[in-house]
Structure 1
């Protein structure tokens, strides 16, 4: 009765292949066939019957004869997992009635429920849930970057694959809808990333958190943009998702779409009232695309608007040397006494844009506050004509930076003899010191700026 072939297959195992021929099974068992005999592949008559899609009666006979329902293969797979993977609900019922462990896990921490979700078998999932499967059970896996991610559950899997009926089943059975795996990803994020609109709507209606973040600080809205899902994005916006978010690179939603070239996404954002123009304007200014900048300015009343960094167009234009744009902004009504004017003159001075410095001073931009630092920026970077303009306009020559260095110290340290002369002739204190009591002469000596050393000494410079 227990003779085997070269693979260890017994007559009883072969007999399980034949559906409804239960008399043969019963005869073999009656005459001593071993129901739990294992072949070289680790299979028993019962496991072979399930994998071959035999008949529920076959399973019942083998179980009645003592077949072990809780055996596992080398991967830790159970008989219930076999049945779930193949969609055999009738086999599952027999195994469950026989007392199989419904929540047993394989070597990868996954259960029969996970297997059923993998293949989208709604009826199998329903049977498992009704029989007591733990819908909030989790497992770990290795992602595409070889990182171990723990805490993934069947709901996240179902949402990722777009299995609406299964997601609905989980919700009806009180699944934790906002559960997040170890990298912060949840079911809603997976539905968004993979473009499953119906699943998205179902999750939101059931209370999914629209503002949840993964460990990359990505909300569902950011994921919709980055994955180019315009319909998903529109739905999220209509459901109340926050548009005032930034990604890990500090980009606004519109910037994300612009950088990726997602025109449909950009249009959805514009339709939702996102002010695209200020981001576009400042980007055009930084990229020296003046024709585009002018076009945006003429079409929109945004000359005093701020981008995500709090910068207005005049700050960007001045820093990048766009005098024509600066004049255009002034004509539009930019305030000369604002914080932005001071920031603008500081940026222009730093980069030696003397014409813009003059333009801003002519309209009354103050050299107080941030504007007072303009002389430091110009002196440090060697912009003589800018320094001359600022001296003429009574810039404070004793203003100092975060280390206590004045414009004269910075010019001496960096070797700008012409600027050193201008500053001293303009009344700069030749022996003023930084926070460590170092004078301009001390810095010039350290940097071996011999011409400056000689000039400072001839004009009364000392070291302490």
Structure 2
């Protein structure tokens, strides 16, 4: 009888253990998975990224510069890694210590594939960088024409003024070179409804800035839009 009771008790314990909810992975296992995630991002290994996430990696873990794995992948131009992280739920709006997010950096640097993916995963089109500017302003400065088109279509504010007192049009003129890409950038901004008369922080209009720089084609665009 004692043997039977012992067996019943043991079976009950095993059944309870099988039905109990599984415990979360220990912190050490999670840390190991996060380290594996960082290594996977460095090697642009999407399979390893997905495995690390499945193993409990902290997808929003910060490095010494405050960058998440997604920001690290984006700044390194590792498109496959960035897309895999976004698909796994990484936050496109998380910012590092210098206020770059994957969305803002991809916009500024013309990383269109990553940019589109951040938008598809909920990027905040009104977010601003350390200069108080939207993604559209540096994209216009650098004359990333395709990127400017994407950001306009996404609804980034056209006349947002950054901490320097510049809109996207101002920055494309002041920090641009007047060549074809900058002319096309300003044409796109004007066509989308950007204000051609809005003065900068010093009171200079876009036309005055373009005229001072000798950018005749830009002056002509601004005159036609005014």
Q: TM-score, normalised by structure 1?
A: 0.39
Q: CA deviation at 1:66?
A: 2.8
**1:228-247 correspondence runs (5 A):** none
Provide the residue aligned with 2:167 in structure 1. 153
Match of 1:18 in 2: 43
Distance 2:141 2:38 in 1: 29
Pick aligned residue for 2:190 from 150, 171, 191: 171
Matches of 2:53 and 2:99, distance apart in 1: 27
Comparing both structures, which one devotes a greater share of its residues to helix? 2
Q: Offset of 1:125 from its aligned partner?
A: 0.7
Structure 1 residues not aligned, in runs of 5+: 142-149, 208-464
Provide the residue aligned with 2:129 in structure 1: 106
> Which structure 2 residue ranges, 5 or more long, are not aligned?
1-29
Q: Distance in 2 between matches of 1:107 and 1:45?
A: 20
Query: Partner of 2:79 in structure 1?
Result: 55
Equivalent position SS for 2:162? strand
Are the equivalent residues in 1 in contact too, given 2:138–2:168 (CA < 8 A)? no
Q: Does structure 2 conserve the Cα–Cα contact (< 8 Å) formed by 1:110 and 1:139? A: yes
Show the 5 A alignment for 1:97-246: 97-141=120-164, 150=165, 152-160=166-174, 161=176, 162=178, 163-207=182-226
Count of aligned pairs between the two proteins: 192
3-state SS, counterpart of residue 10 of structure 1: helix
1:114-172 CA-to-partner distances (Å, cap 9, x unmatched) read 1212222111111000111111111222xxxxxxxx3x211111133221011100111
Over aligned residues, Cα RMSD in angstroms?
A: 1.9
Match of 1:43 in 2: 67
Alignment of 1:293-308 (within 5 A): none
Matched, 1:2 2:31: yes
Residue 83 of structure 1 corresponds to which residue in structure 2? Answer: 106
Retained in 2: the 8 A contact 1:159–1:188? no
Q: 1:187–1:100: structure 2 CA closer, same or farther, 3 Å change rule?
A: same
Distance between the aligned counterparts of 1:83 and 1:182, measured in 2?
A: 27
Higher relative contact order (CA 8 A, sep 6+): 2
Aligned partner of residue 85 in structure 2, secondary structure: helix
Which whole-Å CA distance do the structure 2 matches of 1:134 and 1:185 have between them? 21
Aligned equivalents of 1:78 and 1:2: distance in 2?
A: 23
- Aligned-pair CA distance for 1:113: 0.8
- Over alpha carbons, which structure has the higher Rg? 1
- Report how far residue 195 of structure 1 moved: 1.3
Contact 2:67/2:95 (<8 A) preserved:
no
Listed one character per residue, the Cα deviations across residues 278-297 of structure 1 (whole Å, up to 9, x for unaligned) are: xxxxxxxxxxxxxxxxxxxx
Counterpart mapping for 1:337-416 below 5 A: none
By how many angstroms is 1:17 displaced? 2.9
C-alpha distance in 2 between matches for 1:182 and 1:31? 51
Q: Contact 2:141/2:172 (CA < 8 Å) preserved in 1? A: yes
Structure 1 residue 72 displacement after superposition = 1.2
Q: Does 1:68 align with 2:122?
A: no
- Which of 23, 48, 55 lines up with 1:31 in the alignment? 55
SS in 2 for 1:165: helix
Q: What secondary structure is seen at the aligned counterpart in 1 of 2:163?
A: strand
Separation (CA, whole Å) in 1 of partners of 2:186 and 2:87 = 36
